[in-house]
Amino acid sequence: MIPILKKFERYLRANRGLADHTIRNYLSDSSFLINYLFLQEIDIKNDASQLEVFIHRDIEPSQSKTVQQSHINSEYRSLMRDFVAWLASNKKGSSNALAASSITRCLVAVRSFVRFLIEQGEMPEAPLWAPHSGLMRRFSPKNIRHLPDTLSISEANSLMQISILPNAKSPNSKRSISISIRDKAILEILYGSGLRVSEVVALNMGDINLEQKSIRVKGKGSKVRVVPMGSAAQNSYKHYLSKVREKYQGQTKDNNSVFLNSRGGRLSQRSIHSIVRYRAKAAGINKHVHPHTLRHSFATHLLDGGADLRIVQELLGHSSPVATQVYTHVSKSESRRVYMESHPLARGQK
């Protein structure tokens, strides 16, 4: 990693408390700006001195501070317009093409990156980079918003009615039984409590309180929330503890992790993705099912059942209701589909 990104990484960990995968995305997306500037013969691999000179060019010392600031603001805006145009045109049609949603995500990272440079005293301040400023949205391309994939209630039930499935390495063995018991507990928590896959991976033994029927979750930005744990998830979790996990007590360096792999270590996100895909296929669900599908289904089924949007927002750990409102569209879409398929007059029948 180049020096300036190393400094940015330390800043994100110390000041923002972001998750590891979020930090990786921020670093990756910020590198687009670094590469673009390099093509413009502005090298910021070590520090931002060349970029600062570029932003201050054509400013006369005799000009008033108001005029100088206006010039800086204009240069920043021009830089972002050209950068977005480069992302949209130079990448178009190539193997690493950026979709509109990816450009929008990239700008979020770039905004944090430049904010970091400003706070370090390497770049001048401007309204575009001010905390809580919405000016960056002007440069974001319009997204075609797709509704999230969800399972129907019957599909979710089929997935939860998990059976003992053979393990590739040792079919029909005790290992297959243990893995199936563990997988059922994972699926029940993903769907029953709406957790992100990263949150399930990070669960420690003290986070699940069976007495209070709750799970303490550390979400994005290290925000902590407490979510309820349904009876099905409780039963599956108790079964996993008594029949599977206790075997690893004292056999692993990570005795604190809730969900363990076959070697007694903390289960990875990739493994949980594989588990969900494998179990969905075994349940006969002809969809691309991933852990976030279960989170989407959790929210949609709550709203279908009459839950208040604000409550669903809190359960999901969303900082803004805007992120949760997409599920109201999914709920309406599902209601329309059921109506069109079920009501005789909707199909033109008499």
pLDDT tens for 265-299 read 889 999 999 999 999 999 999 889 999 999 999 98
User: What does the pLDDT look like over 198-220, one tens digit per residue?
Assistant: 999 999 999 999 999 999 998 87
User: What does the pLDDT look like over 228-253, one tens digit per residue?
Assistant: 999 999 999 999 999 888 777 656 66
Q: Which of 139, 173, 200 is the last residue of a domain?
A: 139
271 and 214 within one domain: yes
Looking at residue 11, its pLDDT comes to: 93
User: What does the pLDDT look like over 158-168, one tens digit per residue?
Assistant: 999 877 666 55
Residues 181 and 262: beta-carbon distance below 8 Å: no
Residues 317 and 219: beta-carbon distance below 8 Å: yes
Instruction: Confirm whether 147 is domain-assigned.
Output: no
Residues 188 and 240: beta-carbon distance below 8 Å: no
Provide Rg for the chain, Cα atoms: 25
Q: Does the pLDDT at position 344 exceed 70?
A: no
133 and 161 within one domain: no
Helices (H), the chain: 3-11, 20-39, 49-56, 65-89, 100-119, 153-160, 174-193, 197-201, 231-243, 269-282, 291-304, 309-316, 321-342
Active site residues: 196, 220, 292, 295, 318, 327
163 and 126 within one domain: no
130 and 163 within one domain: no
The number of folded domains in the chain is 2
Q: Does the pLDDT at position 188 exceed 80?
A: yes
Longest dimension (CA), the chain: 83
Instruction: Confirm whether 148 is domain-assigned.
Output: no
